[in-house]
C-alpha cells in the first residue's frame, strides 16, 4: 500500500472486493491463457507518441498483462510469501489455479521476504550469499506459474543484508562515502547500499538460473522496488542548505529547489541503472521495471524541489525521470488509486505528455478502491471508470490490488472495467 494512513497490515480491510459487485460476468477473456508447454519470453516495443507495448519475443504478437497482486504477511506484518517455513506450495497451487480460471496471465509478488529468524532471502545474519532454501521456494513458485501460464512480476524490495552483503556495502562506502545520505534514503542515494543490493540481485537471479534456466522466461520483469521514495525526514532532504554528495558522484546545493529536484531525479536514474546492470549480468534478456505511485498521493505537483511539507514526508520519483532514455529500465509500473476520491488518472502528476514522448510501456501494477473513501454501492462504478481511464491513456494492466480481495467464485467483466483485450 502507498498512503501513510493505509498500512500494509490493513490491506485487506481497506480495499473493497470490487469484483463481488458484478457477479456472473467474465473477468478476463479465456484466450489470455496460452496452451503452451513453456512460456515464451515477453519483451517491449517502443511507442511513438504513446506509451509502448508488450510483445512476445518469438512472434512479435501483443502480450496483454492482466491479473493480480498477491502477498502473504509474516510475523512482522511484512511480505513473507516465500519465507522458509512460511511458504505453502499447496495453497500457492490452489491460488494460481484459481487465478488461471479467472483468466489472469500475470501475478505481481514480493520476491524478497521478511528478514526474520534466518528465513529470508539472505538467511542467517552471519551468512554470505543467498539462502538456498528460500530460493528453492521461489523456484517452486515459478514452476507452478509456468504450469498455469502465468507470468511473474518479481519485486526485489528494500535491501536485505547478511554479513556478506554488509561487507560489500561497507567496502563501497569506504571508497565512495555519502555521509549526508541517511536512514531510508540510503537505499537509493548511498553507494554502499546500491552496491550490496546489486550483488544480491545478481546472486538471486543466478541461483534461480542454476536450478532451472527455463524458468527465467516466466518472469515478465524484475521490479527493483515496490514503490520508490525518499523522505524529508532523512538526509540529504532533511536539510535546507549546504552541498551534499550522492552515489552518482555529483554534489547538489540543498538551498536550491532546482538542485534538490535534480538530486532526486538523477539519483533515482543512477540507482535504477546500476541495479539494471546487475539484473542483465545474470539474465541479459530480462525486463526491468520500477514500481511507483505519483505525487498526487501526497497532493503535490511532480516538480516540487522536495520542499513542500505535508502530512506525508515521502516523495516519489518523477515518472519522466524513469521514462527518460537515460534510464535503462524497459517500462514503468505506476500505481493508480482514487486519490482525492476521483477515478480519473492525474495527467499532471503522471507527467503524461512526457511519457507519450518517451514511448516506454506503462503498466498499472496496482489499482483498487479505498474502502474508507468509497461506499460499497459506488465502488464497482469507480473501479470500472478507473479501468476505462487507464485504458484510454494506453497504459497496460491493470493488476488488481489484491487477490485476497477477490472473493471465491466471483468474476467481473473485462469490458466493464476497461481492460485491454
Query: Is 328 inside a domain boundary?
Result: yes
Confidence label for 146 from pLDDT (cuts 50, 70 and 90): very high
Q: What is the pLDDT of residue 373?
A: 78
Q: Are 159 and 188 in contact (CB under 8 A)?
A: no
Confidence label for 375 from pLDDT (cuts 50, 70 and 90): confident
Q: Whole-angstrom Cα distance, residue 257 to residue 269?
A: 19
Query: Is 415 inside a domain boundary?
Result: no
Which residues pair with residue 190 across a beta bridge?
none
Range of the domain at 319: 31-400
Confidence label for 22 from pLDDT (cuts 50, 70 and 90): very low
**Each residue of 139-176: b (16+ CB within 10 Å) or e?**
bbbbbbbbbbbbbbbbbbbbbbbbebbeebbeebbeeb
Q: Whole-angstrom Cα distance, residue 385 to residue 345?
A: 10
Query: Is 26 inside a domain boundary?
Result: no
Report, in angstroms and rounded to the nearest whole number, the Rg of the chain calculated over CA atoms.
20
Provide the percentage of residues in the chain whose pLDDT is more than 70.
87
Query: Is 205 inside a domain boundary?
Result: yes
Query: Is 36 inside a domain boundary?
Result: yes
Contacts of 205 by beta carbon, 8 Å cutoff, 6+ apart: 216, 222, 279, 282, 283, 286
Q: Whole-angstrom Cα distance, residue 128 to residue 301?
A: 43
Query: Is 20 inside a domain boundary?
Result: no
Query: Is 13 inside a domain boundary?
Result: no
pLDDT > 70? residue 291? yes
DSSP 252: E
**Residue 329 Cα distances to 96, 97, 150, 231, angstroms:** 28, 31, 22, 23
Which residues pair with residue 222 across a beta bridge?
154, 288
**Each residue of 199-210: b (16+ CB within 10 Å) or e?**
bbbbbbbebbee
pLDDT > 80? residue 416? no
Q: CB burial class (10 A; 0-12, 13-18, 19+) of residue 7?
A: exposed
Q: What is the pLDDT of residues 194-216, one digit of tens each?
A: 999 999 999 999 999 999 999 99
Q: What is the pLDDT of residue 341?
A: 84
pLDDT > 70? residue 225? yes
Please name which of 170, 143, 148 lies closest in space to residue 95, comparing C-alpha atoms. Answer: 148
Q: What is the pLDDT of residue 16?
A: 52
Please name which of 173, 311, 161, 341 lies closest in space to residue 231, comparing C-alpha atoms. Answer: 311
pLDDT > 60? residue 31? no
Q: What is the pLDDT of residue 17?
A: 44
Mean pLDDT of 344-359: 97
Q: What is the pLDDT of residues 246-273, one digit of tens each?
A: 999 999 999 999 999 999 999 999 999 9
Number of domains in the chain: 1
Q: Whole-angstrom Cα distance, residue 366 to residue 337?
A: 8
Q: Whole-angstrom Cα distance, residue 137 to residue 83?
A: 8
CATH number at residue 289: 3.20.20.80
Query: Is 199 inside a domain boundary?
Result: yes
pTM: 0.91
Amino acid at each position: 500500500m502507498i498512503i501513510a494512513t493505509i498500512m500494509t497490515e490493513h490491506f485487506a480491510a481497506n480495499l473493497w472486493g470490487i469484483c463481488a459487485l458484478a457477479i456472473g460476468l467474465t473477468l478476463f477473456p479465456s484466450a489470455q491463457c496460452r496452451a503452451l508447454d513453456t512460456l515464451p519470453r515477453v519483451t517491449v516495443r517502443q511507442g511513438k507518441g504513446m506509451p509502448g507495448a508488450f510483445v512476445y519475443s518469438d512472434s512479435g504478437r501483443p502480450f496483454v498483462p492482466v491479473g493480480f497482486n498477491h502477498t502473504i504477511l509474516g510475523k512482522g506484518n511484512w511480505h513473507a510469501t516465500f519465507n522458509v517455513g512460511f511458504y505453502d506450495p499447496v495453497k500457492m497451487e490452489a491460488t494460481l489455479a484459481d487465478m488461471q480460471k479467472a483468466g489472469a496471465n500475470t501475478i505481481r509478488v514480493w520476491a524478497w521476504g521478511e528478514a526474520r529468524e534466518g528465513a529470508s532471502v539472505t538467511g542467517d545474519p552471519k551468512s554470505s550469499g543467498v539462502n538456498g532454501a528460500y530460493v528453492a521456494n521461489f523456484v517452486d513458485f515459478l514452476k507452478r506459474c509456468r504450469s498455469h501460464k502465468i507470468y511473474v512480476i518479481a519485486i526485489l524490495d528494500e535491501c536485505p543484508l547478511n554479513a556478506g552483503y554488509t561487507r560489500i556495502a561497507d567496502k563501497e562506502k569506504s571508497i565512495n562515502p555519502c555521509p549526508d545520505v541517511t536512514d531510508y534514503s540510503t537505499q537509493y542515494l548511498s553507494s554502499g547500499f546500491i552496491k550490496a543490493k546489486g550483488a544480491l540481485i545478481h546472486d538471486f537471479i543466478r541461483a534461480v538460473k542454476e536450478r532451472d534456466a527455463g524458468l527465467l522466461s516466466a518472469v515478465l520483469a524484475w521490479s527493483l522496488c515496490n514503490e520508490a521514495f525518499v523522505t524529508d525526514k532523512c538526509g540529504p532532504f532533511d536539510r535546507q542548505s549546504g552541498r551534499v554528495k550522492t552515489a552518482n558522484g555529483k554534489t547538489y546545493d540543498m538551498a536550491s529547489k532546482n538542485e534538490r529536484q535534480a538530486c532526486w531525479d538523477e539519483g533515482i536514474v543512477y540507482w535504477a541503472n546500476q541495479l539494471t546492470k546487475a539484473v542483465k549480468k545474470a539474465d541479459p534478456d530480462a525486463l526491468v521495471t520500477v514500481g511507483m505511485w505519483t505525487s498526487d498521493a501526497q497532493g503535490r505537483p511532480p516538480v516540487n524541489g522536495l520542499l513542500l511539507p505535508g502530512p506525508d514526508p515521502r516523495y516519489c520519483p518523477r515518472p519522466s525521470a524513469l521514462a527518460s532514455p537515460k534510464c535503462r529500465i524497459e517500462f514503468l509500473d505506476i500505481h493508480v488509486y482514487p486519490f482525492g476520491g476521483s477515478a480519473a488518472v492525474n495527467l499532471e502528476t503522471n507527467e503524461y505528455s512526457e511519457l507519450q514522448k518517451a514511448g516506454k510501456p506503462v503498466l498499472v501494477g496496482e489499482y483498487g478502491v479505498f474502502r474508507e473513501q468509497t461506499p460499497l454501492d459506488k465502488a464497482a462504478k469507480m473501479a470500472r471508470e478507473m479501468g476505462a481511464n487507464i485504458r484510454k491513456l494506453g497504459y497496460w494492466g491493470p493488476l488488481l490490488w489484491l487477490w485476497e480481495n477477490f472473493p471465491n467464485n466471483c468474476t467481473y467483466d473485462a469490458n466493464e472495467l476497461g481492460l485491454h483485450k
